[in-house]
Amino acid sequence: MIRVIITGSTGMVGEGVLYECLRSEQVEAVLVINRKPCGYSHPKLSEIIHNNFYNLKPIESELKGYNACYFCLGVTSVGKNEEEYTRLTYDLTLHVCELISQNNTDLTICYISGAGTYSDEKGKLMWARVKGKTENDIMRLKEVKGFAFRPGIIKPIKGLKFTHQAYKYFLWVFPIIKLFSSNGFCSLEQIGKAMIQVSMVGRKDPRLEVKDIIEEAAKYDAAYNEVV
């Protein structure tokens, strides 16, 4: 059974992952760490409100007893230079993941990265270099099974409260995209289910592109008789 810590649950992706974890019988307990309340109540859900993600030491004792971390916290690179974006993306993420890994053995970390990330940490796009380094260093953490999720266009879950406004007006587009490309997008449901699936059984390739996320979600559905 999975006992998971989720960051970013007051954002669109994190909320979708939280929603799937609360629905899943394979997830026994969920701890969310947020700067503000997520607004959810559930028997297997606990929440810590903590403002400084660069220093989780004050809540370290509450981070023990988990075997998975789904890191969904992130910011856009628009308007930021490389130093600032690195601090907000790489430094913050590694601090959180390192501290959680130090307090839990045999930990699976699923990190929300992005389509087009540079695994070699090289290339013209600043955000893709920083995300690539973040992916790689998560995977290097001791006694950690790290996975990088690289979604592109994401179909939201209807009715969730942290969905970006733009998505709400373009739900009609997704069936059209699927007509032209079965791997043109993945859904939040598929991301959540794929995270649970790789936490349960692992995966040889630690980087999941859109088609891989869809495949792992389908494996989850086949194993647990659930439908995306």
Query: Which residue is associated with the tokens 């891989």?
Result: 212
Specify whether the CB–CB gap between 160 and 183 falls below 8 A. no
Alpha-carbon distance of 70 to 226, in angstroms, equals 21
User: 48 - beta bridge partners?
Assistant: 33
Query: Per-residue confidence at 178, pLDDT binned at 50, 70, 90?
Result: low
pLDDT in tens, 206-217: 999 999 999 999
- CB atoms near residue 54 (< 10 Å): 11
153 alpha-carbon distance from chain centroid:
15
Element (H, E) at 5: strand 2-7
Per domain, the residue ranges of the chain are 2-224
Report pLDDT digits (tens) over 94-129: 999 999 999 999 999 999 999 999 999 999 999 999
The tens digit of pLDDT for each residue in 24-50 reads 999 999 999 999 999 999 999 999 999
pLDDT at 208: 97
CATH architecture of the domain 2-224 equals: 3-Layer(aba) Sandwich (3.40)
Q: Give the Cα separation of 30 and 83 in Å (integer).
A: 33
User: Could you give the C-alpha distances from 72 to 119, 158, 170, 227, in angstroms and in order?
Assistant: 19, 19, 23, 23
pLDDT category at 167 given cuts 50, 70, 90 is low
